[in-house]
Structure 1
Amino acid sequence: MMKIELTTIDDTNTAEIKNVLEYLETEKKSAIANGDEDKANNCWLNLASLDLNILFIKAFNNIKLKNYRQAWNELEQCEIKENYIRENSYKDHIAASRLDFIKSKISKWQSLYPYCLFCSPGFKVGYYSCSICGHKIRPRSRCEHKKGKVYNGQLCVHEVHDMEMLEISIVTKPAQKYSVMHDDSTLDFTLLEHLSSFLDNAFEDWNIRWTKMKFPIARFSSVSKEDKCPCKSDKTFEACCMAKNEVEIPHVDFLFSKPLPSDAENIVFPYDNG
């Protein structure tokens, strides 16, 4: 892969990156025309990896801008792209293209979202065909091409034909993460906002540690007895922890590779009045 600067959102729009993408696309087309499959596949790999890095930067930038739903969808696209790239990659390329870093951070960013309900459509599919050769795929009749592998610069996917929607279910672990069933205006994105405020770019290293902390009951005066209990038991506050002296609630520590201002160590408590 060619050495280029690709760290910030501004880097994704430079003439340099556009020239590199155009060059790789031209080289891929030329390799396909000349029957050079190894070169065509390598061009695909570098194009896909650059596209993944650009998309990951855009997702981070949208989190910074508080465009949380857009960032969520982009993180899911990153997840899909990363899987395909890894399937067709090799050790040195994985290191050079930041695949391990991006894979690790995608799941960590997603874990900080408050989304928990999704719609999952059920479909009846007439048949699938191979995107490489057009073969109609049946249980006992498959072509030589493997789904997810690259052939002559083209990713093999199974294309759907004669699809009919049957049902829509509400699930907590969706196949399609973009199908969020929440109104973002009603949700708390404090964790995402707090973390992103300390990061300058998508490739700064950080980690999270999920724990629990106890606080005096007086700290929860803003929680009404009918509200969900802060301990996340799904019971009402009255039926759960309201009569206790202390309430133990989920807590997350953010761990950074760079020094932070001293006030960054302050605990953000979500139930204080005002």
Structure 2
Amino acid sequence: MSIELNKYDFAFLTSKVINYKQELSVVEKEKKIQQLRGNCQVSNMLWRIQKRISIFSEYKEIFQLLRNGEYFKAWCQAEQTEIAIKFLLKNFPDDKKLVEGIRQHIQKLQQLYPYRLFTSTVIVVKQAKCSICGQKLLLRHNCEHKIGKVYNGEMCCKIITDCELKGVDIVSNPEHKYTVLFTTNEKGEQIDHYNYSGIQKLMKLWITPFQNWDYKVTISYMPKQKAYNDDEFCPCGSALFYKDCCKNKPGIKHRLFVIG
């Protein structure tokens, strides 16, 4: 096998000459060959390489989406990249040094977003199966495969084959970050009413995809413009009720991001 793990280091994955799509195609073809041969260890190593390439490729895509003003798409992509990093490190914790910078930047980027309220679905799973062996997953009798672990170059996940939707809640800490609440117009079309000024300030500094950047957060209190009801959402955007947030504060909390 001509593909080597050490080739896909930080310098190569952030270089201007790399073609992510082409590299992924080459690795995928080799992984299929090794899977057919039953070389589980090699197949897992190739999965590791695929995740490395995908994470850096997706991070660059986040940058491009932000440059184009496609803020919600960038938010969704950031969540997917965050998940990819989680599962890479679950299987190969030695890669932490390679992807830790991207993980930290994604978390800092998410804090700049104005999203505070999300939907969360309540689902009862009636039937599911293992993606590796196809065996039904039962309460007391499951297969030997662990969700999130890689077997012969494929990550195990639970495939839901039958479920029931019980309800939808509004939450501030969602399981799925893409479930952002948006307003709609009379035609039912989604309206993006959010203020992305913090991200816009960042993008004046963030010029190249893998450039290092940071910011500081300062807290100040703005004068209260009116009397607020205890059970209405606090105008500071915390997604908490006014009585649980800024009621007893000297004003309405305001976060200022100093980019630099």
TM-score over 0.5 for the pair: yes
Residues 111-135 of structure 1: CA distance to partner in whole angstroms, max 9, x if unpaired? 1111111111111211221111112
In the alignment, is the contact (CA less than 8 A) between 1:122 and 1:168 conserved in 2? Answer: yes
**1:218-247: per-residue Cα shift (whole Å, max 9, x none)?**
xxxxx9658999866976xxx989xx9x98
State the partner residue of 1:71: 74
Structure 2 equivalent of residue 101 of structure 1 = 101
Question: Secondary structure of 2:192's partner?
Answer: helix
User: Do structure 1's residue 38 and structure 2's residue 41 form an aligned pair?
Assistant: yes
Identity in percent: 28
What SS class does the counterpart of residue 137 from structure 1 fall into?
A: coil
**What corresponds to 1:209 in structure 2?**
216
Gaps of 5+ in 1: 218-222, 257-274
Q: Could you say which residue in structure 1 is the equivalent of 2:255?
A: 250
Question: In the alignment, is the contact (CA less than 8 A) between 2:90 and 2:149 conserved in 1?
Answer: yes
Amino acid aligned to 1:94:
K
Q: Would the alpha carbon gap of residues 68 and 16 (structure 1) be closer, same or farther in structure 2, given more than 3 Å must change?
A: closer
**Amino acid corresponding to residue 165 of structure 2 in structure 1:** M
RMSD: 3.0
**Residues 1:192 and 2:196 aligned together:** no
Secondary structure of the corresponding residue to residue 28 of structure 2: helix
Distance 1:212 1:131, change over 3 A: same
**Where does residue 135 of structure 1 map in the other structure?**
135
- Within a 5 Å distance, the mapping from 1:12-161 to structure 2 comes to 16-91=19-94, 93-95=95-97, 98-161=98-161
Cα deviations across residues 6-35 of structure 1 (Å, max 9, x unaligned)?
448xx5xx7843332222111101111111
Structure 2 distance, partners of 1:43, 1:63, is 30
Name the SS of the counterpart of 1:197 in structure 2. Answer: helix
Q: Normalising by structure 2, what TM-score?
A: 0.79
1:116 is paired with a residue of what secondary structure? coil
| Aligned 8 A contact 1:117 1:182 in 2 | no
- Give, in angstroms, the shift of residue 59 of structure 1: 1.1
Q: What CA distance in whole angstroms lies between the structure 1 residues aligned with 2:28 and 2:18?
A: 15
The residue number in structure 2 matching 1:169 is 169
Structure 2: unaligned runs, 5 residues or longer: 184-190
Aligned counterparts of 1:248 and 1:135: Cα–Cα separation in 2: 52
The alignment partner of 2:128 has SS state of strand
**Structure 1-normalised TM-score?**
0.75
Distance 1:77 1:18, change over 3 A: closer
Give the secondary-structure state (helix, strand or coil) at the position aligned to 1:206: coil
The count of residues paired between Structure 1 and Structure 2 equals 236
Q: Give the CA deviation at 1:65.
A: 1.4
Kindly provide the amino acid, as one letter, of the partner of residue 193 in structure 1: Q
Q: Give the greater-gyration-radius structure (CA).
A: 1
The CA deviation at 1:140 is 1.5
- Partner Cα separation in structure 2 for residue 226 and residue 61 of structure 1: 42
